[in-house]
Amino acid sequence: MTIRRSTVEQIFGTLKYWTGPANFPGGTLRRASTGITLLALAYNLKRIIEMFGVAETWQAMTMAGS
């Protein structure tokens, strides 16, 4: 439980840091869901770029789109 808590808490801590002192974006459940989805996408893209670099990430994204 300690390992799980530390790995999950880090992600939400980062997202809270990105959004600032305000709560997660939203108001209604639909808007909050959209906001969290976009934040998760940005978080994952940032991690992929850090792991593989911009050029390899861009190449993989363009290959997946074709």
Q: Locate tokens 């789109």: which residue?
A: 65
pLDDT attached to residue 26:
66
pLDDT for 3: 67
Residue 16's contacts (CB-CB under 8 Å, 6 or more residues apart) are 24
| pLDDT at res. 19 | 77
CA distance 34 to 54: 26
User: Per-residue confidence at 4, pLDDT binned at 50, 70, 90?
Assistant: low
The residues spanned by each domain of the chain are 26-66
Q: What is the pLDDT of residues 12-64, one digit of tens each?
A: 788 878 877 766 666 788 887 888 888 889 999 999 999 999 999 999 989 98
Q: What's the pLDDT score for residue 53?
A: 94
- Identity at 53, one-letter amino acid code: G
